[in-house]
A = this chain, B = another copy of it.
Amino acid sequence: MSSIQDVATLANVSAATASRALSRPDMVAQPTRERVLHAAQQLGYQPNMLARSLRQRETRTIGVIVTDILNHFHATLAKGVQDAADRHGYTAFLFNTDEDAGKERRALDTLRGHLPQGLIVVPTAHSRENLKLVPNLPIVELDRVTGNPGVTTVTVDNIGGARAATKHLIGLGHTRLGMIVGKQDISTAVERHAGFQQTLEEAGIEYHPELVLPGEHREEDGRHAALRLLSLPAHLRPTALFVGNNEMTVGAVLAARELGLNIPDDLSIVGFDDSRWAQTMTPPITVVAQPAYDLGVLACDHLIAQLGYLQAGHLQSGRARASPARVQLPTQLIVRQSTAPPVCVSTV
């Protein structure tokens, strides 16, 4: 690896001049600049970011932490962030927590050592605590929120999404609706549940807590919850299911199949978050789709805008920090063939 000194020597200038020729071309006479550029090219010179960042006290780097890179939604978030970062000339370092407090802590520590200038995080239930590890770091919470007051959040309208799904089912004539809901320690699960409950009540349909079963977001959880709900006596059994996340929806569909229930005749299902399998399954699943890529891009754009703002010195000038943004994107209900009016078996 050739250093700036090598370039300088080859171009017959000092290291300082070589540095300027590359980073601030207008501070250098044209012939000199050309000599340096040529030398740099010839040597395949690539600046050592460690040294540059150390000196400039600025890495042009951001950290990205998602909870499950194997989940297509999260992979898409990450890609959106990375693409946007790239456009801004930033490099994004991606970490994965598997919803695990310890891994999150280690990711934050590792990240901290590399001095990112900002952080985009899909928080876990432990982030509120863990994020104290990186005080003074501009943070954008993505997809979920911790309630941490100072930070920018980029989320989806979960309440609206849940409402749309629930209304859709009610509109089809369902009156016994079940929900499989994520663990209530993350905001999306809470909001989706709230939207469901609200909508029932507004429609004058009684909310039956026993028809709302929790799961920890995994396929197996969805399957178990669905098995329990669908095994209720016929007059108690829900005719429609709203499932609060992607993975659990698969489980619910598999459970229905296991019990020999026909979708959508015996059971309507709406999932949250679209996916390849939701489209290719038989029948294709009605879902609340989320603009994952855009969420990622927006999170990054906001973070980097905030960095510019801070750099412009506004932090110094009084405590007038940019008030944190609350970005919320709409969801989209995609009606496919897993939802239909209930078959009127129990009209007594």
Contact = CB atoms under 8 A, between A and B. Distances in A.
Interface in A1-54: 1, 44, 46-51, 53-54
A79 B70 contact: yes
A47 B109 CA distance: 10
A249 to B, nearest CB: 10
A93 interface: yes
A91 interface: yes
Interface in A108-130: 109-110, 112-115
A94 interface: yes
A113 B133 CA distance: 27
A76 interface: yes
Contacts of A280: 250, 253-254, 277, 280-281
Given A93-B93, A250-B280, A69 B59 contact: no
A82 B106 CA distance: 13
Interface of A: 1, 44, 46-51, 53-54, 59, 69-70, 72, 75-76, 78-79, 82, 86, 91, 93-96, 106, 109-110, 112-115, 133, 250, 253-254, 275-277, 280-282
Closest 3 CB pairs of A and B: A282-B282, A277-B277, A49-B113
